[in-house]
Structure 1
Amino acid sequence: MLHSFSYVTEHLGFCGTIKNSPSDFIVTEIEVPEHMRGDSRAESPQEIHEAPLERSGLCLQQPKKLRADQPAAVCGSRDCGGAVPGPPETGPARAGGDCCTSLNKMHCENEPELKCSPEEANILDSLLGKPRSELLSKFAYELKAAWNCNANASACEFSLGPILDKKNRADLHSAIRQEFPFLVTVTKDSEMTVKGNADYRELCQLVTEKEANDFFKFLDAKLENSTFSFEPDGNKEHRKVVHHFISRKFGKLLETKSFTVTNTNDQPNMSIIVRFREKSWSRKRPTGGLQENQDLYTAFTLQKENLETLEAIGFLASELGILISDFSYTGIKDKKAITYQPMVVKKVTPERLKEIGSRMEKKGMRIHNIHSACQHLRLGQLKGNHFDIVVRDLKHHSHDSSADLKERICEAIEKVKTKGFVNYYGPQRFGQGQNVQTDQIGLALLNEKMVEAVKLFFTPEDTDDPVNKAKRYFLQTEDAKGTLTMLPEFKVREKMMLRALNRYGINREGCTKSWLNIPHSMRIFYVHAYCSKIWNEAASYRLKTYGSKVVEGDLVLSEDNNENFSVNDKVHIVTASEESAKKYSIHQVVLPMVGHSIKYPSNKVGQWYHERLSKDELQMCKFRVPPLQLNIPGCYRPILKNVQNLSYFLEGSEKELKRIEDNYLNESKVSLHISFDLDPSCYATVCLREIMKCDF
């Protein structure tokens, strides 16, 4: 798939083999710290709900709200990040920062201490700039002081000025509410103002300030299936008042229930638990309270060997008797490797998961670090991956006459360590070596050729194992029911599709139903594979046409090469004067992953995109496939990437190491051990390709 594609470095490289055995290629996922997993800014461009796969790109998809019918935000604008639910504000006359002048004169005992954590301060500083961020903190401090003195500060507002970028406004709404839960944000004609949250102040009359803070942070995070508990409260009348307050203010969004808890003296007490109401289209909850299996999450680390991630999940789902959609994970890991990745499964207890551990070992899997969790994972919700790789059969390229193999290896690694590598999607993305690759299925789906897509999906490989025999039988007979009996239980995707085909037939409707019968994340996986193929070709064309020079019409990140910026306004088209001034470097250049909400380069590369899509009959494609509920907004991906924490050494017998040290052989039995970290969606095989200057 990468044959004849470009390189960014100029060294000669060397030959070798990788993946001689799974233990030669070990992948360990670098997890996002648990306390950050609820942050909406960690959304992946390839999240399970209608977003592109790669977190390394700039996602245009806004985080999905928990409910379509949730109450309007306090701000009067739809682009608000969804502040505390309530009626839209008409808003008093703007007071800017001057309204709080009178508050400056107040000196109350026990004034609240408002200190941002470094991480939260950095978020606000980056969005507002440090001077304005400090003024906001001062406003919040003085407002809270006035409240504590029972002063009337309800009319006081602080203006943040015009915030033109919609995504910036949404991020700012969320950051302010997480840092200062007692504030609300209001947008009018792109101008944002901040004022005290009357609902917060009312709740503080009923519960402690800490409980009020935690409640509004829970409310703002909107994490599906999450719950919040107030402190135990033995006063029934007081609990009733709290229930009524939440019902009155947030009844369309939240529901409450009292349940029994046990204190440190083993004495029973009552507490109020709050959770988000289920979506109207979801199935009814089972009776029996909040502690049903629907709300149960178990986290674990999956170690697998010589298995695809989805194949491993199929085995687990079959063994546990649950759906594959009950599993969540942050990324697809290599098959020909030993990989370690966190997963979360719902409706399964830790004890149940432990029970199947020994049986899974026979399938090439081990389950580690089993523990309870409070929510699912999202695709792309990872910091990156760590790789430990062994390259064997080292030798020179045939065109390299040098005798110094060690020098070639060191030169190659140091060059890539300094300059980076072309950020191609790796061959495993497309089904390396398969008769039908995933991008072909994705193209058929984008063209809404449902029958063709199904037949491509069931195209067998050139082997006679039970799975390929079943696929071959299906294509020859179109006997979905008979094929079902031939497939092993762990082939969950195939079986789900075949059940729909058996019921609805091998026609457009039946094939559409069969695709809808598998989880959304699997359906969109094929479309993203096609988008990835186009990106690879575009990157190669861009580098062959313009090289490492940044030219007029290129797309670059306009503010710091920070991949968390995720809207079109953060992508800038290079001007002629900027090209002349060499304002940008090639590491700032991004290319679009095709979709309905991206902009294209305004140079030859943009024209190439249009011609390439026309070739696949997608010139009029809106990158939405309504029959399959697929929505592809698109994103941006840097052309080049850097490798982090790279280290390496040569291993072999003392004799072999001496021979290579003395430059005696052109090839040897010495192996190269190399370790490094890559950002999410970067491929180790692509990095190795750049180092070694050979395709795998």
Structure 2
Amino acid sequence: MLNSFSYVNDHIGFCGSVKNSPSDFVVTEIDVFGRLLSDTESSCAISETSLKQNSPYQQHHKRLRINAPELGVEDEHCQLENLSHASEECLSSVKENKERVTKTIQSGIDDTDILDSLLGKSVNELLSQFACNVKDAWNSENDQTPYSNEFSLGPIFEKENRACLHSAVRQKFPFLMTVTKNSEIIVKANADYRELCQLVTEEEAYDFFKFLDAKLENSKLSFKPDKNKEHRKTVHHFISKKFGKLLETKSFSVTDFSGQQNTAIMVRFRDKMCSRKRPAADCQEKQNLYTAFTLQKENLETLEAIGYLSSELGVLPSDFSYTGIKDKKAITYQAMVVKKVTPERMKEVGTAIVKKGMKVYNIHRVCQHLRLGQLKGNHFDITVRDLGLQQNDSSADLKERISEAIENIKTNGFVNYYGPQRFGQGQNVRTDQIGLALLNEEMVKAMKLFFTPEDTDDPVNQAKKYFLQTEDAKGTLARMPEFKVREKMILRALNRYGVNHEGCTRAWFSLPHSMRIFYVHAYCSKIWNAAASYRFKIYGSKVVEGDLVLSEENVDESSSLNDRVHIVTAPEESANNYTIHQVVLPMVGHSIKYPSNKVGQWYHEMLAEDALQTCRFRLSALQLNIPGCYRHILKNVHNLSYRFLDDSKEGIKSEDSCHLDASKASLFLSFDLDPSCYATVCLREIMKCDI
């Protein structure tokens, strides 16, 4: 896929081989706090200082400023990277805080640091003062409410952040209520709390509203015994009127310490806490049963690893969330979250999955799933073996060639192509071919491409051959190995609905959304790669009229993707107002701008060749929506260092001599890349050869 693609650097390069073994290519995620994931428990902890520094209130006004130069597309989701980085930091801290809030609710401990972490100390103090004013006004005889009617916590733009703040405020101050207005959280006095205080003691009202907000499954609350039947009736009526859809009440007999019989009211949540209109999955999510872990895998695709794990745990592949797809022929460390699985259950499968090339670390409970792109980037430790000069290079100094290449890449960066692994490197059918068939709504063709076997004769490919020969979904299902979860999900649907257009459509829809859209995004990535090559072929590294650049001026939280992308004018080209590092190219979709020069015309011609000139980039049958986005044409490598290794029988040691013995030397590279950047593409630019 990269044979005809461009280079931005003019050094000669060198030869070598990569991924001779998985241990030669180690990928480690960098979390939102800039820390490497590890295979120890220490990476679970987040310090209180980190939480305070990343509170949503402190960060919301910086979100479009942090990492502003970064604009790109995540491996599986078209997202603006620079708009997500800061909010991802905030989301991660709030996720940790939300876990603490939940623990506090369950333990009954008053953790006064929670709101400090979420809001910052100064805002939390103002909130506490507002709460005191409310109580003082209620307790005053004339109750003239000499306090502000409401208090703003400021705009909180992430839904998860707002949910955490709502819960934390109401747990600390049950006599207050919180509402959201255009992403701004407003705190008010809770009139229902005050009304209940007229019927029961304030202590009981306080406990009731904490119980109500916590929504702990199977939890119950009892009011103090009450001999007055009419009064109990009034309390029953109040709760039924205000919270009847959520709660139910019942009177029961109790015996006090003196042996006297009395009656108390018990409150509990109704069995069906979720609306009947909502799917069962929504109800499951309310249980907050999420387990996070670090997955180490070797020589496995991410989706293949998820297939193994889901089979062992007895859950669906869609129950797993992750920040991005990792290389197959490598050792990789990545964060994952699985729902409906306890940490104890996750630990139980640890031994079973080792034989599949996987290990799990840092297993702990969290409150929500991960999102694609929710990371700072990836760290790579790569060994390049079989070093040598390029075929037509007469230089005798390999070490000099390597040093020159690395210094160039540090200065100029690399063309930000999607790597070959995105398209199924070395496979008979590439993922972008399947994506094109789906976009053209050729569901049967896409299905046959999906089941096209490779040249090996293993059980998986034997099953695929059988399917193409017979279209016998049931028989193929029996032949397909258990860990091939995607294939088996599709085969079950085909067996039920048939191998026709409608049946294949239903079969594709049986896959989780992230898997369905993966193929479409692969096609969009192929077009982007070709567009980048065409752009360099026509215009080189000069920014020209009609190019798209990322604007960093007049940016605010309401800015859309297209608001931030500017079309270069002729005067701006003449004045050299922009650099090539600011140029972006669109990922095709229904809501993007195209360049207004020859590159834009090329896009339309390419889509026409693939019969997509009228494509709306919406597949309602598969519930796929492809709005499109923008990706920087160039990227920089971070923290790049290297050293030479001597692969001798005595072991591997640093090669410090001036002359490099290529016959026994290897090159060790260590560097960081932003999300959605490919190390194989960076290496290709360094070495100037296909790897």
Q: Under a length normalisation based on structure 1, what TM-score does the superposition of the two structures give?
A: 0.72
Residues 78 and 628 of structure 2 are in contact (CA less than 8 Å); yes or no, is this contact kept in structure 1?
A: no
**Aligned-residue offset at 1:675:** 0.8
Q: Which amino acid aligns with 2:382?
A: I
Deviates more, 1:569-578 or 1:416-425: 569-578
Deviation at 1:232, TM superposition (A): 11
Q: Determine the C-alpha separation between the residues in 2 that align with 1:305 and 1:548.
A: 38
Aligned to 1:69: none
Q: Which amino acid aligns with 2:12?
A: L
Aligned residue number for residue 280 of structure 2 = 283
- 1:204-603 equivalent positions in 2, closer than 5 A: 235=223, 277=274, 280-283=277-280, 295-559=288-552, 567-603=561-597
Tell me what 1:8 maps to: 8
> Any conservation in 2 of the 1:17–1:394 contact (CA below 8 Å)?
yes
Query: CA separation of 1:303/1:553 partners in 2, compared to 1, >3 Å: closer, same or farther?
Result: same
Question: What is the CA distance between 1:661 and its match in structure 2?
Answer: 3.8
* Residue aligned with 2:499, SS: coil
Specify the code of the residue in structure 2 equivalent to 1:348: V
Let me know the Cα RMSD of the aligned residues: 4.9
Alignment partners' CA distance in 2, 1:144 and 1:599: 49
Structure 2 Cα separation of the partners of residues 614 and 400 of structure 1: 42
Paired with 2:225 and 2:587, the residues of 1 have a C-alpha distance of: 57
Matches of 1:509 and 1:114, distance apart in 2: 52
CA distance in 1, matches of 2:437, 2:398: 46
State which of 668, 675, 680 in structure 1 corresponds to 2:670. Answer: 675
Q: Which runs of no fewer than 5 residues in structure 1 stay unpaired?
A: 64-112, 122-133, 161-167, 220-225, 259-269
Q: Deviation string for 1:502-557 (max 9, x for gaps)?
A: 11111001101110111111011000101111111111111222222222222222
CA gap of 1:453–1:284, structure 2 versus 1, over 3 A, is closer
Deviation, structure 1 residue 633:
1.1
Q: What amino acid maps onto 2:81 in structure 1?
A: S
Q: CA deviation at 1:364?
A: 1.2
CA contact (8 A) 1:555 1:601 kept: yes
Asked if the contact 1:314–1:491 (Cα under 8 Å) also holds between the matched residues in 2, the reply is yes
| One-letter amino acid of the structure 1 residue matched with residue 32 of structure 2 | V
Residue 198 of structure 1 aligns to a residue whose secondary structure is strand
Distance 1:114 1:255 in 2: 28
Q: Which one of 184, 188, 194 corresponds to residue 198 of structure 1?
A: 188
Aligned residues: 591
Which segment drifts farther, 574-583 or 640-649? 574-583
Aligned 8 A contact 1:435 1:459 in 2: yes
Equivalent residue runs for 1:149-164 within 5 Å: 150=137, 151-152=145-146
Quote the Cα distance in structure 2 between the aligned partners of 1:356 and 1:650.
Answer: 40
User: What SS class does the counterpart of residue 553 from structure 1 fall into?
Assistant: coil
Query: Which residue number in structure 2 is paired with residue 622 of structure 1?
Result: 616
Tell me the CA shift for residue 351 of structure 1: 2.4
The structure number with the bigger radius of gyration is 2
Instruction: Letter of the 2:606 partner, please give it.
Output: R
- Per-residue CA distance 1:257-306 (angstroms, 9 max, x = gap): 99xxxxxxxxxxx99999984682413899xxx999x6422222111111
CA distance in 1, matches of 2:351, 2:164: 46
- Displacement of 1:493 after TM fit? 0.8
Distance across 2 between alignment mates of 1:9 and 1:244: 77
State yes or no: 1:690 paired with 2:680. Answer: no
Report the secondary structure of 1:380's partner residue: coil
- Pairwise CA distance, 1:571: 1.6
Shift of the alpha carbon at 1:169? Answer: 10
For 1:549 and 1:251, the matched residues in 2 are separated by 67
The 3 A distance-change label for structure 1 pair 2 and 197 is same
TM-score (norm 2): 0.73
CA distance in 2, matches of 1:422, 1:653: 32
Q: Are the counterparts in 1 of residues 645 and 655 from structure 2 also a CA contact under 8 Å?
A: no
Match of 1:56 in 2: 81
Provide, for residues 415-458 of structure 1, a one-character-per-residue CA deviation record: whole Å limited to 9, x for no partner: 11122111111000000010000000000000100000000000
CA distance in 2, matches of 1:672, 1:563: 45
The structure-2 alpha-carbon separation of the partners of 1:668 and 1:659, relative to structure 1 and needing over 3 Å to count, comes to farther
Q: Structure 2: how far apart are the matches of 1:506 and 1:542?
A: 42
Amino acid at match of 2:379: H
Q: Is the 8 A contact 1:45 1:380 kept in 2?
A: no
1:646–1:674 Cα contact (<8 Å) kept: yes
Counterparts of 1:132-151 in structure 2, within 5 Å, are 150=137, 151=145
The answer for the alignment partner of 2:172 in structure 1 is none
CA deviations over 1:213-239 (Å, ceiling 9, x no partner): x99xx99xxxxxx9689x998756999
- Structure 2 residue runs of 5 or longer lacking an equivalent are 34-45, 65-70, 89-112, 138-144, 170-176, 227-231, 251-265
Q: 1:562 to 1:591 in 2, by over 3 A?
A: farther
Q: Is this contact kept in 1: 2:150–2:188, CA < 8 A?
A: no
Q: Residues 463-492 of structure 1, C-alpha deviation per residue, up to 9 Å, x if partnerless?
A: 111111111111111111111111111111
Identity fraction in percent:
61
